[in-house]
Structure 1
Amino acid sequence: MKHIAVIGAGQAGATLVETLRKSGFAGRLTLWGAEDALPYQRPPLSKAYLLGEMTRDRLHLRPQSFYDDHDVELHLGTRIAELDTEAKTLNHAGGTETFDAAILATGSTPHTLPDRCTGGLPGTHVIRTLADIDRLRPQMIPGKRMLVVGGGYIGLEAAAVARKIGLDVTLVELNTRILGRVACAPTADWFRHLHREHGVDIREGVGLDTLLGEDRIEVARLTDGTEIPADIVIAGIGAYPETSLANAAGLTLDNGIAVDAQGRTSAPCIWAAGDCCSFPVGDLRIRLESVPNAIDMAEVVARNLLGAGEDYHPKPWFWSDQYDVKLQIAGLNTGFDNIVVRDGDGRSHWYFQGDTLLAVDAMNAPRDYMVGKRLIEAGRSPDRTAVADPDVPIKSLM
């Protein structure tokens, strides 16, 4: 194999090229990214970087010298326009490249507010890329009024940072409660209380109707007819897998680019990893948007491209930082029918399906998180009564 092309220069893409070199691939290796920045960490964008506590260079996953030393050709600021799976070519503004195998690591793209909501006014933002935050950060001035649309983790993190800076913040969630798609009601209750304690005006069951103003945002009209003053609007309404290139190339899609357990797409020469693709887990097909999944899956796919033949078995975990709270999540809560609450050093919510432990949300409870994570990965479930009893040492649940 003479040339492997990695398309997408985020966390998965950077991990792919590093793992390919570590695994012995000595041929031509190219990494193509639409952004002009070196591959960087995304989680700090909405927290430390937005707050001005982290410089741009500290976001980089690796310095330029790493790619030079490992003979990785970086093609940054270059968007792949077309992928031909039969001719094994990729086209971009600068020409056409041939490859022996390509790996798609195109990530996900945030949903934006529809035009009917923005009224064509400037001042609406999403949080995904360095450029997004560089546009937003100069607007984050104490005393300004921010409207956050969407009560998921991105929206809540943005609200927390804005309050720390000193903005007035209103957050609206069209569903009946915040975190409705990702967490249980007790976790939502806990974070609602946290944000209200810090001065965020949270309104549930109401969304944004339209923005009003002359040449800038001045007022947000909500779906219940209420009008509130606003200077800045953040859309935290989720993301979708970036599949446009794969779709045009005729690859099979299923909630993202459909791959098998080893990362192969429907075209023999094309593989995929990270946020952009869905993969089989038991009888289900899932897609995970997280840094750990991007890293772990990319490592497996890179080795498989070189012949390892490993199935990918995800070990899902996530985190979110809001104010002085670290939320750590282990497992997937799909299908839970019971929540066990544990109070002690911090608080944790344990998701069960019957007597089977599925997932844990731990708020400033790192020991609960670590024990829950190990239990889930081992396929073991603790006694629910023992979990709920703060007098039962957490380690004894193992």
Structure 2
Amino acid sequence: MTNYAVIVVGAGQAGCSAAVKLRNLGYDRPIALIGEEAHPPYQRPPLSKAYLLGELPRDRLFLRPESFFDEHQIDLHLNQRVTDISADDQTLVCGAQTLAFEHLVLATGSTPNRLPASMGGTLPGTFTIRGIADIDAIAPEFKPGRKIVIIGGGYIGLEVAAVAAKLDLDVTLIEAAPRILQRVAASETAQFFRELHGANNVRILEDTKIARVTGEDHADGVELANGDMIPADFVVFGIGITPNTVLAEAAGVAVENGIKTDAWGRTSNPCIWAAGDCATFPHGNDQIRLESVGNAIDQAEAVAENIMGASKPYKAKPWFWSDQYHVKLQIAGLNTGYDQIVSRQGDDGASSVWYYRDAQLIAADAMNDPRAYMVAKRLIESGKSPHPEMVADTETDLKSLLKV
């Protein structure tokens, strides 16, 4: 048996951030970082954009060179799956090894959803977007003139549609909800991206239910609930993710839409912590889970600090982004429960959408408008809320809003 002070399960953005932060804080006890993939920790956002387009080589994805982990005495276990955790014994089984821990950090991430097998969700020629292997498998399909059907009108689906359109594929995107971005953005933001994709010849079908993906040995189309058929050479699912909680449940740790943690990142077992896409945490009066790079880094670093005794509650500062064609979308805050929307036009086609709840500014979407994003982010973090009319008035200098 090998003994470690800290074992981190999951070698993604959160897991890597936790291990590196411990070393940066001067933690000098044994650390192990375990990942199921054969690659060292890498960034995922470019996968569905620059990497899929062939504009970013694989080695540019890596968060650190592999030599970094040796130099910082982080034992990197790649291509290894943890199959069992004993919380009572504080041990886990990793391949043929049993490893002991004082602290365990679960950064197990999430798994993209598919349609059920009964609806053709596992047919060859159907794909999800999550890891390097997913992109390497799907990239050869992206050839001019081929027909791609994307199921799901969230940001992943729209990003894949943008890449496909840029590569001259025939693109159809299907969204079951009344509109794209239904769950995550206001209708004004959705309209901006609907028009953007329409201008790039992407066919978007909203309020459209799927009956099944068709095909015998390979996907060849999508049958809609109304009986219509849409031919396809391949199909991509962008229908959300499910947090990976199996190990936590096996260890007897509380799970609630993810691995439930307290404000310090601890689970219901005081020697087990969690961070990233798999973890929920207190935010205001709610227990939430954020699927973002910023949260993965910040939450994991807070866990590292608390393992070292900082007793520092994690205070999330939500931010997100998406790149589609020439447009960079930057999102500040969380728009949950908004009751008022204000739109603001910027220069050269830039625009932003500002979300209010009970007269309090809570979030903003900025399309090619980095100044609006930065001002909104600072306002939200400071708790300031300029009057909506001031925001909408293009004569109002954005920076002046910070003085309100």
TM-score computed with the length of structure 2 as normaliser: 0.97
The 5 A counterparts of 1:53-132 are: 53-118=55-120, 121-132=123-134
Are positions 1:356 and 2:338 aligned together?
A: no
Once the two structures are TM-superposed, the CA of residue 335 in structure 1 deviates from its matched residue by 1.1
SS in 2 for 1:142: coil
Q: Distance in 2 between matches of 1:215 and 1:106?
A: 32
Among 381, 385, 388, which residue is 1:384 paired with? 388
Deviations 1:31-60 (A, max 9, x none): 000111010000000000000001110000
Q: Residue 399 of structure 2 aligns with which residue?
A: 395
Deviations 1:345-398 (A, max 9, x none): 210000001321010000011100000000000010011111000111111111
Give yes or no for contact 1:119–1:212 (8 Å, CA) kept in 2.
no
Q: Residue 278 of structure 1 aligns with which residue?
A: 280
Give yes or no for contact 1:118–1:210 (8 Å, CA) kept in 2.
yes
Q: Residue 254 of structure 1 aligns with which residue?
A: 256
Once the two structures are TM-superposed, the CA of residue 124 in structure 1 deviates from its matched residue by 0.3
Once the two structures are TM-superposed, the CA of residue 148 in structure 1 deviates from its matched residue by 0.2
Deviations 1:144-182 (A, max 9, x none): 000000000000000000011111000000011100000
Once the two structures are TM-superposed, the CA of residue 2 in structure 1 deviates from its matched residue by 5.2
Once the two structures are TM-superposed, the CA of residue 90 in structure 1 deviates from its matched residue by 0.5
Once the two structures are TM-superposed, the CA of residue 254 in structure 1 deviates from its matched residue by 1.2
Give yes or no for contact 1:146–1:167 (8 Å, CA) kept in 2.
yes
Q: Distance in 1 between matches of 2:78 and 2:386?
A: 48
Once the two structures are TM-superposed, the CA of residue 119 in structure 1 deviates from its matched residue by 7.0
Give yes or no for contact 1:34–1:78 (8 Å, CA) kept in 2.
yes
Q: Distance in 2 between matches of 1:362 and 1:260?
A: 32
Are positions 1:374 and 2:378 aligned together?
A: yes
Q: Distance in 2 between matches of 1:94 and 1:317?
A: 40
Q: Residue 209 of structure 1 aligns with which residue?
A: 211
Give yes or no for contact 2:4–2:100 (8 Å, CA) kept in 1.
no
Q: Residue 239 of structure 2 aligns with which residue?
A: 237
Q: Distance in 2 between matches of 1:121 and 1:39?
A: 29
Out of 276-285 and 152-161, give the one that drifted further: 276-285
Give yes or no for contact 1:111–1:237 (8 Å, CA) kept in 2.
yes
Q: Distance in 1 between matches of 2:299 and 2:221?
A: 44
Out of 65-74 and 220-229, give the one that drifted further: 220-229
Q: Residue 193 of structure 1 aligns with which residue?
A: 195
Give yes or no for contact 2:114–2:122 (8 Å, CA) kept in 1.
no
Give yes or no for contact 2:210–2:225 (8 Å, CA) kept in 1.
yes
Give yes or no for contact 1:109–1:239 (8 Å, CA) kept in 2.
yes
SS in 2 for 1:96: strand
SS in 2 for 1:99: strand
TM-score computed with the length of structure 1 as normaliser: 0.98
SS in 2 for 1:106: coil
Give yes or no for contact 1:30–1:74 (8 Å, CA) kept in 2.
yes
Once the two structures are TM-superposed, the CA of residue 219 in structure 1 deviates from its matched residue by 2.5
AA aligned to 1:363 is M
Give yes or no for contact 2:4–2:99 (8 Å, CA) kept in 1.
no
Deviations 1:296-319 (A, max 9, x none): 111111010010110000000000
Give yes or no for contact 2:127–2:138 (8 Å, CA) kept in 1.
yes
Among 147, 153, 156, which residue is 2:155 paired with? 153
Q: Distance in 2 between matches of 1:328 and 1:295?
A: 18
Give yes or no for contact 1:149–1:207 (8 Å, CA) kept in 2.
no
Among 31, 35, 38, which residue is 2:37 paired with? 35
The 5 A counterparts of 1:210-359 are: 210-345=212-347, 346-359=350-363
Q: Distance in 2 between matches of 1:113 and 1:231?
A: 17
SS in 1 for 2:355: strand
Report the identity percentage.
Answer: 55
Give yes or no for contact 2:339–2:356 (8 Å, CA) kept in 1.
yes
Deviations 1:208-254 (A, max 9, x none): 21222343222221122111110110000000111010011110011
SS in 1 for 2:226: coil
SS in 2 for 1:5: strand
Q: Residue 365 of structure 1 aligns with which residue?
A: 369
Deviations 1:269-306 (A, max 9, x none): 10111111100112111110000000011111101001
Give yes or no for contact 2:17–2:300 (8 Å, CA) kept in 1.
yes
Q: Distance in 2 between matches of 1:207 and 1:125?
A: 19
Give yes or no for contact 2:116–2:122 (8 Å, CA) kept in 1.
no
CA RMSD of aligned residues (A): 1.1
SS in 2 for 1:370: helix
AA aligned to 2:381 is E
Give yes or no for contact 2:355–2:363 (8 Å, CA) kept in 1.
yes
Q: Residue 17 of structure 2 aligns with which residue?
A: 15
Say if 1:277 and 1:214 are closer, same or farther in 2 by CA, change over 3 A.
Answer: closer
SS in 2 for 1:311: coil
Give yes or no for contact 1:315–1:331 (8 Å, CA) kept in 2.
yes
